Chain A
Amino acid sequence: MTELTGTAPAAGAWHGGPPAEHTLRVRELIVEMCGSAGGGHLGGSMSLVEILVTLYRSTLRVDPRAPDAPGRDILLLSKGHGAIGLYAVLAERGFFPEEELAAYGQPDSPFSAHPNPAVPGVEMPTGSLGHGLPQGVGFALAARFDNSDRRCFVVLGDGELQEGSVWEAAMAAGSLGLGGLVAVVDRNTLQITGPTEDAVGLEPLADRWRSFGWTVREVDGHDIDALRAAFDAIPADADRPTVVIAHTVKGRGLPYIEGQTRSHFARLTERPKKRALSTLRAQYRKAAQA
């Protein structure tokens, strides 16, 4: 019913320059948005950066110039509080000019703190947790009816997995054998009150997904080569959905907040913002020299 128009780039190739340049720029944009009057979800956006950059620069068949092209791959950010991470990646990828992000948090700006489909590239509004994977079941079913190989990637938070609707969808997708459905879990191990395992434990997480009929891959969620390899190998089995458990660090990129629960939300005034930006650049230079 909806065939790929040919405008979308092929999956698997790398569209862009050195990955570290892209992730640096994305993190700078996230920090800038956290410097707005309303602040932003810093920690869970920083943990997402490599996952989303890899998806948008390599894995997804999407065209920044034609974000609504029929037949494109679908990405749903089910952990909607990572919106500034998504906005930053979309802007940096060219879906819209980066300067537009300056409107984040301003009255009537499309850039609300949870994904707004008025922003080019945002497929569905999310925010209340546990909604993305059921929607993904629908997108994957539609692809099946269309005899299309288009895929749907649903990026979930790990704390989000405490929502029962996630497992309703996981059970259905496993049972229906939806090979076009991919869940990516941002396993940064922290939720608002502390470690996920101290709230309502998720482990053994891989076994849980496996028992629901999913192929499980575990990967360092900050290693772009590893993420690409994992995403490119999907689906290992055309009749099974895949979950990529991406082990990440909340607040990644700012060592003084990494792995800390308090990184969840930040309203950065001028000085902490400058400190964050210079920290990011220093790390980039250090890595480039190594």
Chain B
Amino acid sequence: MTGPVTAPADPQSAEAPVPSSREVYRDLLVEFLNADERVVCLDSDTGLFNGVDFGKGAERYVNLGIAEQNLMGAAAGLARSGRTPYVNTMATFATTRALEQLKLDIALNDLPVRIAATHGGLSAGHLGATHHALEDLAVTRLLPNLTVVVPTDATTTAELLRQAQELPGPVYIRLGRDATPDLPSDAPPVELGKAQRLREGDVLTIVATGPYPVHLALEAASALDAAGVATTVLNLHTIKPLDTRALVAAARASRAVVTVEEHWVSGGLGSTVAETIAELGLPVPVRRIGVGDRFAAGTGGQTHLLKRNGITVEAVLAAATEALGR
């Protein structure tokens, strides 16, 4: 059942054929700045905007320096004044260093701040544990009023950012660092707040979020299908609000649920799925794939760290097999 697995090429060593989610975001933000006077870009010296021509939106780009608490607080003040700030920092800084500002200044006031959090999950790769964000989904999904989205590729990044534009409250957008593989061209359109069904099957459901987890889920599903285990793959790109209806429908139609995420195994996607299923008393076992209760093992690029930390097709297959009692 565990057939040969070809892991995606490490984008740090290969020519990136597609833009990374943060590059897609950067280019779209220039468009937003020029199309909508309310939009403000608050940077924390990320370097993402080096050399960018903002056109007539240039005066609404402000580099507030390496100071994330001030970044979040200033965003709240701007939003309270009728602006729509896009704040830029890394996922781990947005959700741990500046968490209190995110909670009290932004979420408590339900202000339309967009937090563009790059370097989500293990995408910071060799930058190490200080730059990995394995806690951000756990932290953000706790906060009332906050919408939490995890785009899967360049196309979904652009789509979800466009759909988030007019949301009245705050939005956390988890972005990556480097380019990641595209979703299959026949993937259904992505809709904020709605799970994206990438495969249909009535034995197993794999729920995934983020670029590599979704690809691992698809790869595992294809191997499982070949072995006679018809598998549904749900891309839960919106962690909050959770598409409970789609999740429950898939879980009811399955004999087991496996979750995959680039995150600590506690607190994030797997937890929200397990909580939902347990609370509704659905009689399906749940298995969670993510980084265990430790700081990520090893050093190196994103795909290496995923493998090194057990976020692999093999792990999904093993979890599925065990959960199905085969």
The answer to the question of B253 belonging to the interface, with a C-beta cut-off of 8 Å to chain A, is no
CB distance from A150 to the nearest CB of B (A): 9
Contact of A175 among B37, B65, B78, B105 (CB under 8 A): B65
**Once the chains are docked, how many angstroms separate the CA of A205 from the CA of B12?**
49
- Decide: A135 near B62, CB < 8 A? Known: A128-B104, A142-B82, A172-B67: no
Query: CB-CB < 8 A to B73: which residues of A?
Result: 131, 133-135, 137-138, 165, 169
Query: CB-CB < 8 A to A117: which residues of B?
Result: 109
The answer to the question of A94 belonging to the interface, with a C-beta cut-off of 8 Å to chain B, is no
Contact of B67 among A125, A141, A142, A171 (CB under 8 A): A171
The answer to the question of B76 belonging to the interface, with a C-beta cut-off of 8 Å to chain A, is yes
Query: CB-CB < 8 A to A1: which residues of B?
Result: 37, 82
Across the interface, do B100 and A128 meet the contact criterion of CB distance under 8 Å?
yes
Across the interface, do A137 and B74 meet the contact criterion of CB distance under 8 Å?
yes
The main secondary structure of chain A at its interface with chain B is: helix
Contact of A169 among B60, B74, B80, B81 (CB under 8 A): B74
Across the interface, do A138 and B37 meet the contact criterion of CB distance under 8 Å?
no
The answer to the question of B319 belonging to the interface, with a C-beta cut-off of 8 Å to chain A, is no
Query: CB-CB < 8 A to A171: which residues of B?
Result: 65, 67
The answer to the question of B40 belonging to the interface, with a C-beta cut-off of 8 Å to chain A, is yes
Query: CB-CB < 8 A to B109: which residues of A?
Result: 117, 124-125
What does the 1/0 interface line of A116-151 toward B look like (CB < 8 Å)?
Answer: 010000011100101101111111111101100000
Across the interface, do B104 and A125 meet the contact criterion of CB distance under 8 Å?
yes
What does the 1/0 interface line of B100-136 toward A look like (CB < 8 Å)?
Answer: 1100110011000000000000000000000000000
In the complex, residue of chain B having the shortest beta-carbon distance to the beta carbon of A142: B81
Contact of B81 among A134, A138, A172 (CB under 8 A): A138
In the complex, residue of chain B having the shortest beta-carbon distance to the beta carbon of A170: B70
The answer to the question of B77 belonging to the interface, with a C-beta cut-off of 8 Å to chain A, is yes
- Decide: A124 near B76, CB < 8 A? Known: A2-B82, A142-B81: yes
**Once the chains are docked, how many angstroms separate the CA of A123 from the CA of B108?**
13
Across the interface, do B67 and A139 meet the contact criterion of CB distance under 8 Å?
no
**Once the chains are docked, how many angstroms separate the CA of A125 from the CA of B76?**
11
Across the interface, do A138 and B69 meet the contact criterion of CB distance under 8 Å?
no
Across the interface, do A135 and B77 meet the contact criterion of CB distance under 8 Å?
yes
Across the interface, do B101 and A134 meet the contact criterion of CB distance under 8 Å?
yes
The main secondary structure of chain B at its interface with chain A is: helix
Contact of A138 among B74, B100, B104 (CB under 8 A): B74
Query: CB-CB < 8 A to B108: which residues of A?
Result: 125
Across the interface, do A164 and B105 meet the contact criterion of CB distance under 8 Å?
no
Across the interface, do A131 and B77 meet the contact criterion of CB distance under 8 Å?
no
Query: CB-CB < 8 A to B37: which residues of A?
Result: 1
**Once the chains are docked, how many angstroms separate the CA of A134 from the CA of B76?**
9
Across the interface, do B104 and A152 meet the contact criterion of CB distance under 8 Å?
no
CB distance from B107 to the nearest CB of A (A): 11
The answer to the question of B15 belonging to the interface, with a C-beta cut-off of 8 Å to chain A, is no
Contact of A168 among B69, B76, B78, B105 (CB under 8 A): B69
User: Using a CB-CB cutoff of 8 Å, which residues 238-272 of chain B contact chain A?
Assistant: none
Given contacts A145-B60, A165-B69, 19 further A-B contacts (CB under 8 A): A124-B76, A124-B109, A125-B109, A130-B69, A134-B101, A135-B76, A137-B70, A138-B73, A138-B78, A138-B79, A138-B80, A140-B77, A141-B74, A145-B59, A146-B81, A169-B67, A169-B73, A171-B65, A175-B65
> Closest 10 A-B residue pairs measured CB to CB?
A138-B77, A134-B73, A142-B81, A168-B70, A138-B74, A168-B67, A165-B69, A135-B77, A139-B77, A138-B78
Q: A-contacting residues of B (Cβ < 8 Å)?
A: 37, 40, 59-60, 62, 64-65, 67, 69-83, 85, 100-101, 104-105, 108-109
Q: List 30 A-B contacts (CB under 8 A).
A: A1-B82, A124-B105, A125-B104, A128-B100, A128-B104, A131-B73, A131-B100, A131-B104, A133-B73, A134-B71, A134-B72, A134-B105, A135-B76, A136-B77, A137-B77, A138-B75, A138-B79, A138-B80, A139-B77, A139-B78, A141-B78, A142-B77, A142-B81, A142-B83, A143-B81, A145-B59, A152-B77, A165-B101, A171-B67, A172-B70
